[in-house]
Structure 1
Amino acid sequence: MKEATHLNTITHWVKEHVSGIVSCVALAFIAQIIGKLFPQIGAALFAIFLGIILGNTVLNHPSFNKGVKFSESRLLEYSICLTGLTLNIRDVLSVRANGILFIALQMTATIFFAYLIGKKMRFHRKFALLMCAGNAVCGSSAIGSVAPILEADEKDKGISITIVNLTGTVLMITLPILTSFFYHHEVIPTSAMIGGTLQSIGQVIASAKLVSDGVVQYATIFKIIRIIFLVVVAFAFSKMNTQNHGRLFDKKCIKHSSQTTKKTKIGIPWFILVFFACCLFVTFIKVPHFLPLTAKTISNQFEIIALAGIGMRVKFADLIKEGPKAMMYGLSIGFSQIIIALLLIALFF
């Protein structure tokens, strides 16, 4: 009886996810073929663009949503885990104290300016804090983590995720151009800019792939440091929310709530722990030469599939729906992140 129940559960999952996953795999396959014809551009950018174009036209149907979301999130997490088998702990620590301090200051400044811009543009305080977390840490994952702490409603959560993802998509394509101009794609400063600025880890990998594999490696490390700091950000936000629960920036609309702040447990994401476990494994145990090569090959495939999923989840309708003010807020934060990163990179690297 239990076996039949498990089989039905698996069958139901496959039915819900198969169309979206197959679509992302197909787009990744096509992108890699085109990428070989135009190696200067690469498969990553083609995967994203194909996802955006087809995800807003022929593949724009709710039946694809769950499979696309799985491809965009889970496959990327598995890719990061496998990346751990290609790095030893010395590679991870190569960013040194300067790199960690750079990320800490970059995140702090991003939160400060995102909060300040939100206040100037008279957005709700909780919405501004969601934008702070999403831009400073790791996009929609950070927003989903801090939303219960702030007791933010679903509307603010949905809008902030949309704006952060759209902002990240713009920066994802823009940053390789900027780093070419400022740093001539030198690995560490380019990695610091991409890994320290972009909103989601998928966007970091996609943007870094437009530069080089070396930048992918180090940009991922910078991004992982930001994700680890999510615990600190969530703790700080919980204290802020306790002290100023429910306040709006608009003084005419100040609201107060007698509800107690919900306690939400925030931890380091599982795939980051696995990543470090894999790094330690290959650092202290001699592994066959084929293992890191196989891990890298599979990881690259998962990345391209995930990037197609990221593209498919960028909806033009969402951009139109949220309006120019919200998009201006997101782009203003993105612009401030770039300026902050340029100054800090000049200071530390």
Structure 2
Amino acid sequence: MVFIFLILICLSGFISPPIALLLGLVVANLAGHPFLHLNHKATTILLQVSVVGLGFGMNVNSALSAGKEGFLFTIASIFSTLTLGYFIGKWFSIEKKTSHLISCGTAICGGSAIAAIAPVIKSDEKQTSVALGVIFILNSVALFLFPAVGHWLHLTQHEFGLWCAIAIHDTSSVVGAANKYGSEALQIATTVKLARALWIIPVALITSYLFKNQKSKIKIPYFIGLFILAMLCNTFVPQTALVAPYLVSIAKTGLTVTLFLIGAGLNWKILKTVGVKPLLQGVLLWGFIAIAALVSIIYLS
């Protein structure tokens, strides 16, 4: 079976995350995904395990420094993106819940934010699918576009890591793009992105108030705690050095498989359901956050 063969290629370590994503897109639209009903759950679990594994290659002190620098960028970008998203949604007459999901996915952490916010606003399957489709399409573009732009502008690894953590939606694509750029970029991007993901909680609380649905349960990204524990072990437990390189290597392979599965879940039928206006909202928001973050990082940091 072609699908299984391609997963084995991803597991071999011979291809990069962007190529894995591209292979997923190809197989989704030519051969189809035989396990599509399991795809979302598989990518969620695999991504979380991979991110925790990457923590074994990171130092707490460096992570705290990166997180502190990214804090103000995070606050400014999240609330400006949510505000702009609201007005763009009104301007284009996009259904309110769909518009809010796209805004949250762009502002915080892509599909994870949408999955957390959707039950809070009680969005239906179509509204959630449209928002996820917009985010996943732009994530796929970002994985190829950002490293190319970074090299073209001669961004340092520090600058690139900070930029992609703020401007790329999903953690999977952030880690994939940063990993392609360099080890320092990977550490900064992963730390800042996971710190950013914690903003799901206050945004979900505000959302429940605005949508008058304060009884909904809010999904907390608990795996971030395991990521922090992995960093602590790598920094303060010397014995961890014996296994850390292997765990990081396995985590990077897991990320490659994750991106293949994400691509394999984006077939033509899903792309067609997105619609022009929601996609345009996503592009405008993404353009805003990417350009604003880049200018701020280059000239203000």
Q: One fold, TM greater than 0.5? A: yes
Cα deviation for residue 315 of structure 1 reads 1.9
Relative to structure 1, the CA distance from residue 20 to residue 120 in structure 2 (aligned partners, 3 Å threshold; closer, same or farther) is farther
Query: 2:24 maps to what in 1?
Result: 51
Aligned pair count reads 301
Q: What are the superposed Cα offsets for residues 28-70 of structure 1, whole Å, 9 maximum, x if unpaired?
A: 147x43x4xxxxxxx2221111111112111x14x32145434
Q: 2:108 aligns with which of 119, 134, 137?
A: 137
Q: Moved runs in structure 1, 4+ residues, more than 6 A?
A: none
* Superposition map of 1:191-230 within 5 A: 191-230=161-200
Unaligned runs of 5+ in 2: none
Q: Matches of 1:23 and 1:324 in 2, distance apart?
A: 35
Query: 2:53 maps to what in 1?
Result: 82
Q: Matches of 2:7 and 2:124 in 1, distance apart?
A: 34
Q: Which of 79-88 and 194-203 deviates more?
A: 79-88
CA RMSD for the aligned pairs? 2.2
Cα deviation for residue 198 of structure 1 reads 1.1
Indicate conservation of the 8 Å contact 1:20/1:66, yes or no.
Answer: no
* Superposition map of 1:5-84 within 5 A: 22=4, 25-29=7-11, 32-33=13-14, 35=15, 43-58=16-31, 60-61=32-33, 63-84=34-55
Q: 2:73 aligns with which of 102, 107, 119?
A: 102
Q: What are the superposed Cα offsets for residues 201-239 of structure 1, whole Å, 9 maximum, x if unpaired?
A: 111122223322322221111110110111111112122
Q: What are the superposed Cα offsets for residues 265-310 of structure 1, whole Å, 9 maximum, x if unpaired?
A: 3253121110111222233322243221111111111111112112
Higher RCO, 1 vs 2 (CA within 8 Å, ≥6 residues apart):
2
User: Larger radius of gyration, structure 1 or 2?
Assistant: 1
Unaligned runs of 5+ in 1: 1-18, 36-42, 243-260
Residue identity (%): 24
Cα deviation for residue 348 of structure 1 reads 4.0
Q: Is 1:232 aligned to residue 190 of structure 2? A: no
Q: Matches of 2:85 and 2:143 in 1, distance apart?
A: 19
Relative to structure 1, the CA distance from residue 285 to residue 225 in structure 2 (aligned partners, 3 Å threshold; closer, same or farther) is same
One-letter identity of the residue aligned with 2:21:
I
Question: What's the TM-score, normalizing by structure 2?
Answer: 0.92
SS in 2 for 1:138: coil
* Superposition map of 1:120-269 within 5 A: 120-182=91-153, 184-242=154-212, 261-269=213-221
Query: 1:248 maps to what in 2?
Result: none
Q: Matches of 2:151 and 2:78 in 1, distance apart?
A: 23
Query: 2:281 maps to what in 1?
Result: 329
